[in-house]
Amino acid sequence: MTTVEEVLGRPVQEVDRRAKRVAVHTFRPRRSWPAVITGLVILAVAVIAAAEVIAALAGNPLRLIPVGPATDYATTTTWSEPSVLIASAVLALIGTALIVVALVPGRGRWTALRTDDPAFVVGLTRPALRRAVSAAAQEISGVEHAHVTVRGNRLRIHVRTGMRDARGLPTQVTRSVEHRLAELAPLRSMRITTHVRYAEG
């Protein structure tokens, strides 16, 4: 049996899932430079090849590419030749590398925040996230300085304190950061690691 609460809750859950998908897609890191470089190389090769073919058909070959020696080499070389096998392996490796570069996401510069509205997408840059987390850590009494590094969904916090007995400080800093993250509401949960170092003033 379906209750009224379940029926009313389904549209909200669907909107929440759609909002997550939109935010993830919007802030997905793109690998623009590898695509641009590969496209320019392919375009240059295609232009040179087209110019060679058109010039050869017109009876005045450009000879930008040594077609004659390449044709002679291709007609006298078999597939089992070591040079052909090595060239094929190199091209296969280049192709595999391009596929891997295209499939593996790049390093994201934004942290998507939860909004529960597909039409409203909010992101926080890594420097802004570091500043927010550092400010939350420095709110704790005894913390003189906090350095934050962000890698994926991991936060590493290095805290400097002048307190000789700082046994409870890592827990306090972690709780303060967790509270700040709960306010920011990042789409992906983040793992926090806190290190405290004593530095005499």
Residues 80 and 134 in one domain: no
- Asked whether residue 96 is domain-assigned, the answer is yes
pLDDT of residue 106: 65
Q: Which residues of the chain have pLDDT under 70?
A: 1-32, 67-68, 70-71, 74, 105-108, 200-201
pLDDT of residue 201: 56
pLDDT of residue 2: 45
3-state SS, one letter per residue, for 64-122? CCCHHHHHHHHHHCCCCCHHHHHHHHHHHHHHHHHHHHHHCCCCCCEEEECCCCCCCCE
CATH number at 192 reads: 3.30.300.20
Report yes or no: 169 and 125 within 8 Å, Cβ to Cβ: no
pLDDT of residue 16: 62
Q: Tokens standing for 102?
A: 């295209």
Residues 43 and 74 in one domain: yes
Q: What's the domain count of the chain?
A: 2
pLDDT of residue 1: 43
Q: Which residue range forms the structural domain that includes residue 88? A: 33-103
pLDDT of residue 191: 92
Residues 51 and 84 in one domain: yes
